[in-house]
Amino acid sequence: MMFLILLKAVTVFLLITLSAWGIGDWITSFVLKRNNHLISKLAKMLISFSVGLGLIGQSIFIAGLAGDFYQEKYFWAFFFFLGTFSIYRYFAYYSKETIPKFSFFKDVKIREIIIVVLVIVLFIVWFYSAINFTRGSDVISHHYQHAKECIRQRHFAHIYTLPSGYDHVANYNPTMLHMLYLGGKILSDDRAANLLHWFTLVMLIASIYVFARDYFSRLSAFMSVAVFLGFRAMFNYSVDVGDYPALAVFMMMSLYCLFAYRKTNSIRFLLLGGLLSGLMLSTKYFGIPMIIALSSVILIGNDLKLFHRIRASCLFFIIAFIIYSPWLIYSFKEFSNPIYPYFSKVDFLVRLWALTKLNILDRFISVTDISYFWSKFLYYTSIFIPFEPTFNAFGLTPLILIGFPCSVYYCLFKRNNPRFTDINLLFIVSLIAYFSVELPGKLLLWYKFAFFAGIIYAISFSAMYNHWKASALKWVWVGVIFVATLNTFLEVKSIKDNYLRLSPFFEQKEVWLPLEKCLNETLKENAVVANHDIHTNYYLRPDIVGYPSHETSIDWSKEESIIRNKGVQYYVFNPSEKMDTVTFYQNKVNLLIKMSDYEKAEVVRDTLNLYLERTDKQEAFLKKVGIFLNELPDGKVLYLLNLDEKSKIKGGQ
């Protein structure tokens, strides 16, 4: 029985990807017209998959705004139609094409075989992980949680959390990838959605290879892939399902089209690049700074007159923002801010961001520090620590130390050499990508988001190295392959230890924690429960309505108002939460004062005082209306609430 369920998940995944290829290939062929032959078949296939998956996600989002269309029957009809169209398109246009000869083993080198083996090992391990139920982190706190809530409400919606009703802040981003995951979940379960994430990882590595191969050389392509495998940051996104790899795929395919436009001056590649950038924008807000980097290919990487470059850039941005516009319109209509919650005065975000800088630098602060100077210094230089285990920093330290000065040298002194024009342009694009993403975070995010700039730079310095003499290049290859092999080993070990807890043939309930098991087995049908962890909320039975606690609550009146208005019947109370939270905030206040950051210290102290007031009212509320049901081994207590007007206490809403 479980084998059939697993088979269904794989079938749904294949149906979605088949549908994506068909619609994507149709649109790509329509846009390119007679320019199809100017790009490789592998590049066109990757572009088609990217366009198709993106537009399917956009369509699901728009359908969710139009009405209650998030139902299984509508999705089967939608994908059956697209799947049938894709099969028709294949047999009508591609079935009679001759299969190109597979020439990999022609003049193959041992280093290429090693890289292929590493990639295959990772693909297999990632696939096996994808067909498991994994607890993950972000995947449960908001990616799948958001998809589950949309399915429950049958239309596009947000998760309602205590104490203020705000969703997880990441879910206010454009969430086109969530819509694709929703398609997999509504037709099957988590595993179909997991496989879609796995497919974006495959596409990302393929896109790096095909870009470097088509614009540089086969050797540069293999080295670029190996360098990418050497980025420890990459493994932050391999099995914890998210949207960064997909954003990187859209980025790479848009970059591919912009390079094609640069070399052919065909407006059709510019249009296709704009379309892909629009899908990148629809994936996450980080697409906004990334599109600035991509536009630099048009503005500085072209020999056209300035007027023509500006006109082409404007057209590129117009196409991109037309594709992105449904998300802008939705956010503006719903929140009066097209990029909500940024630049909006949301109280809990102000309090959260007061601790952001400190939380990032915390591990670098010593007992003698009285300012952020040395902690920032150590933070930035930690990029040069090989195989840094907790920060997921780049592992190719020696190559970065050697490569970066060389890239600067080539950019300054070889800028008129045609052999280095593309190499230098990619280096500049990677720098713009890095700083355009980092500056909004005040240069305190590189360890995570340099991922995007790193992908582009990997291709640039791989192509640069392959211009070196053979005697020097062989040592570069030794370093690249060594680091890629070591990181692959660490990745496989990490997945085995942390993710592959069960075989693919177990049910999801096998990963339930005690509270999840208690709620699912104790609560009556259509029960309403509140104040549990946001991760726990994901594992509740579909009929249970949950209002998890997401941010530190500082206003009991708001919280009680939600409890009463939403008809909450059960309440989870954690007695140890108060002591843990007070200790946490007191330590942060003391540390901020020590670092002379008095303004943020005052914000955190205010948060702590308000939290203590709120907690006193919470305990009084439970004492008055709570009926004890169960106490779990970890100390959490489940209460049945007896709510009526007489039970309303002073201070509540």
Q: Does position 391 have pLDDT exceeding 60, yes or no?
A: no
Instruction: Determine contact, residues 404/414, Cβ cutoff 8 Å.
Output: no
- Amino acid letter, residue 201: L
Among 333-347, 502-516, 598-612, 618-632, which stretch is predicted with the lowest mean pLDDT? 502-516
Q: At what angle do helices 287-300 and 267-281 cross, to 10 degrees?
A: 160
pLDDT at position 511 is 75
Top-confidence residue, 401 or 645:
401
Among 80-84, 240-244, 434-438, which stretch is predicted with the lowest mean pLDDT? 434-438
Mean per-residue pLDDT over the chain, rounded: 86
Instruction: Determine contact, residues 256/44, Cβ cutoff 8 Å.
Output: no
Phi, psi of 231 (to 5 degrees): -80, 110
The pLDDT tens digits of the residues spanning 346-356 come to 777 777 777 77
Among 6-15, 359-368, 389-398, 404-413, which stretch is predicted with the lowest mean pLDDT? 389-398
Output b/e per residue, 565-602; b: 16+ Cβ within 10 A: eeebbbbbbbeebeeebeeebeebbebbeebebeebbe
Q: Does position 135 have pLDDT exceeding 80, yes or no?
A: no
Q: Does position 203 have pLDDT exceeding 60, yes or no?
A: yes
pLDDT at position 476 is 87
**How many CB atoms are located within 10 Å of the residue 243 CB?**
25
What percentage of the chain reaches a pLDDT higher than 70? 89
Span 32-44, mean pLDDT? 90
Query: CA–CA separation, 112 vs 122, rounded Å?
Result: 16
Among 382-396, 431-445, 484-498, which stretch is predicted with the lowest mean pLDDT? 382-396
Top-confidence residue, 179 or 648:
179
pLDDT at position 390 is 46
Span 467-493, mean pLDDT? 87
Q: Does position 546 have pLDDT exceeding 70, yes or no?
A: yes
Confidence of residue 222 (pLDDT cuts 50, 70, 90): very high
pLDDT at position 166 is 87
pLDDT at position 174 is 95
Span 432-441, mean pLDDT? 76
